[in-house]
């Protein structure tokens, strides 16, 4: 978690822009109507028709104003009013998938589900945060910017941003007896929770940390279906949201997407489907995709994307730093192109023999990191890729 300021003081840009537009529109319409009414009233007052005409004009003006107000109401209603049209109803929990069962430590599941029961935040979303933040409490339990514990809370987010010391990103030197004191957290408006009832709200305690993450996500919209908004509040970065959503999606049966924003259809082949989140959100970089920053930003070349996709479903294709089309063409078992199945590696002669690799999807299509498009689905049945496909197919 790396808030740059107090998340409670923030408002969605779409919401504030909409309110500003509506307010400005209302003022402009109101001023024009009043001005027109005064001008018209003055003109009619000097006419020979007298008060009946004035009353009639006033009634017409009131009718127009009512119509304008109704129009603005319709605009606000149709756009969501609070800027949340982009956030669909989330998929709440579900049965754990095979991928989830193989990756998530079994003893944590009960804690996630208990937190879901209390706060209404999907257990798989909590598992995804735990995975991304500390790889289930196995790495970087103190971040470079000062986030601490199993779920990486900034100290000021834990105790409350009204605490008198700390920097703009939420780091502060706070004695542990104060940081973990529920009465201090209540006083300063923090999110730390004493989940296990031992009298302390401790970011280094597993139950406290997970329940606190659920508390934070709930307060930021997750229980209302505004999943992505809540995740973005946890860490203000689009790549972070996509990574969290990707894991949450794959931790439940059927790979049902949490928050409902997918770039492509589901094929039922996990190694194919994981790449959907990068379609339209990535770029091709020769030699890219070989560090976590590149991966988070969607910067891949063809072989690093293939390595990443298989790694996501639990298959290690060797050292990431040395992965290339040359190493990948020696992985798995060669099969004939007539026997291709979804998930097979397919190779193309581009700038050299076996210069490009992708993952076969079925129906003559493959997904891969292409030079001009980044991660995209391409057609092998016609055009460039039909011409360049060399018939090499490997089954991992």
Structure token digits, residue 256: 């049902």
Cα 234 to Cα 247: distance, rounded to the nearest angstrom: 16
99-150 pLDDT, tens digit each? 899 999 999 999 999 999 999 999 999 999 999 999 999 998 999 999 999 9
319-367 pLDDT, tens digit each? 998 999 999 999 999 999 999 999 999 999 998 999 999 999 998 999 9
Q: Which residue has the tokens 């009204």?
A: 162
Beta carbons of 91 and 225 less than 8 angstroms apart: no
Cα 217 to Cα 51: distance, rounded to the nearest angstrom: 61
Beta carbons of 365 and 380 less than 8 angstroms apart: yes
27-58 pLDDT, tens digit each? 333 333 333 333 333 322 333 345 554 445 55
DSSP character at residue 356: E
Angle, CA of 145, 150 and 153, to the nearest 5°: 40
Cα 112 to Cα 209: distance, rounded to the nearest angstrom: 11
Mean pLDDT in residue range 277-306:
90
262-282 pLDDT, tens digit each? 444 566 788 988 888 888 888
Model confidence, pTM: 0.50
Q: What is the DSSP string of 302-348?
A: HHHHHHHHHHHTT---S-GGG--HHHHTTSSEEE-GGG--TT-EEEE
Q: Which residue has the tokens 């009960």?
A: 110
Instruction: Judge residue 242's burial from the number of C-beta atoms within 10 Å of its C-beta, 0-12 exposed, 13-18 middle, 19 or more buried.
Output: middle
């Amino acid at each position: 978690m790396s808030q740059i300021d107090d998340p409670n003081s923030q408002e969605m840009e779409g919401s504030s822009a909409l309110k500003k537009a509506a307010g400005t529109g209302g003022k402009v319409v109101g001023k024009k109507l009043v001005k027109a009414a005064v001008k018209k009233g003055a003109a009619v007052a000097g006419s020979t028709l007298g008060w009946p005409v004035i009353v009639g004009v006033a009634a017409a003006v009131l009718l127009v104003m009512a119509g304008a107000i109704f129009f603005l109401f319709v605009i606000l209603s149709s756009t969501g009013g609070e800027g949340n049209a982009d956030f669909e109803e989330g998929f709440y929990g579900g049965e754990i998938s095979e991928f989830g069962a193989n990756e998530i430590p079994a003893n944590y599941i009960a804690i996630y589900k208990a937190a879901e029961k209390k706060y209404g935040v999907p257990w798989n979303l909590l598992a995804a945060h735990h995975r991304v933040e500390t790889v289930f409490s196995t790495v970087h339990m103190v971040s470079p910017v000062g986030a601490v514990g199993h779920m990486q809370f900034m100290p000021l987010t834990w105790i409350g941003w009204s605490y008198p010391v700390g920097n703009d990103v939420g780091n502060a030197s706070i004695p542990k007896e104060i940081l973990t004191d529920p009465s201090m957290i209540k006083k300063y408006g923090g999110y730390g929770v004493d989940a296990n009832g031992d009298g302390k709200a401790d970011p280094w305690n597993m139950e406290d940390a997970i329940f606190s993450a659920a508390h934070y996500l709930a307060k930021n919209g997750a229980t209302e279906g505004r999943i992505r908004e809540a995740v973005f509040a946890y860490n203000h970065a689009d790549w972070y949201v996509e990574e969290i959503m990707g894991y949450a999606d794959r931790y439940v049966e059927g790979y049902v997407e949490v928050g409902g924003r997918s770039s492509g259809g589901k094929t039922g082949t996990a190694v194919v489907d994981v790449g959907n989140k990068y379609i339209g959100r990535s770029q091709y970089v020769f030699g890219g995709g070989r560090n976590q920053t590149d991966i988070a930003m969607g910067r891949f070349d063809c072989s690093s994307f293939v390595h990443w996709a298989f790694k996501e479903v639990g298959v290690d294709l060797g050292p990431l730093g040395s992965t290339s089309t040359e190493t990948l063409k020696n992985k798995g078992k060669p099969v004939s192109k007539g026997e291709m199945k979804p998930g097979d590696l397919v190779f193309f002669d581009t700038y050299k023999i076996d210069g490009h690799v992708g993952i076969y999807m079925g129906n003559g299509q493959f997904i891969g990191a292409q030079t001009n498009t980044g991660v995209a689905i391409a057609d092998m049945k016609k055009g460039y890729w039909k011409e360049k496909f060399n018939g090499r197919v490997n089954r991992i």
